[in-house]
Amino acid sequence: MKKAIFTLSLMVAAMIGFNANAQEVGANGPVITVDKDVHDYGTMEQGGNGECVFTVTNTGNEPLMISMCKGSCGCTVPTCPVEPIAPGATAKITVKYDTNRVGPINKTVTITSNAVNEPSKMVRIKGNIVAKPTEGTTTPTN
Whether residue 105 lies inside any domain: the answer is yes
- Helix then strand count (H, E) for the chain reads 1, 8
Structural domain contains residue 98: yes
Q: How far apart are CA 24 and CA 15, in angstroms?
A: 14
Q: What is the pTM of this model?
A: 0.75
DSSP 85: B
Residue 8 lies in a domain: no
Identify whether 124 is part of a domain: yes
Handedness of CA 12, 16, 18, 19 (dihedral sign): positive
Please give the tally of structural domains in the chain. Answer: 1
- Provide the domain limits for residue 118: 28-130
pLDDT by position in tens, the chain (length 142): 555 444 444 444 444 443 333 333 345 999 999 999 999 999 999 999 999 999 999 999 999 999 999 999 999 999 999 999 999 999 999 999 999 999 999 999 999 999 999 999 999 999 999 999 887 655 555 5
Residues paired with 108 in a beta bridge:
124
Q: What is the CATH number of the domain that holds 120?
A: 2.60.40.10
Q: Is residue 79 part of a domain?
A: yes
Asked whether residue 6 is assigned to any structural domain, the reply reads no
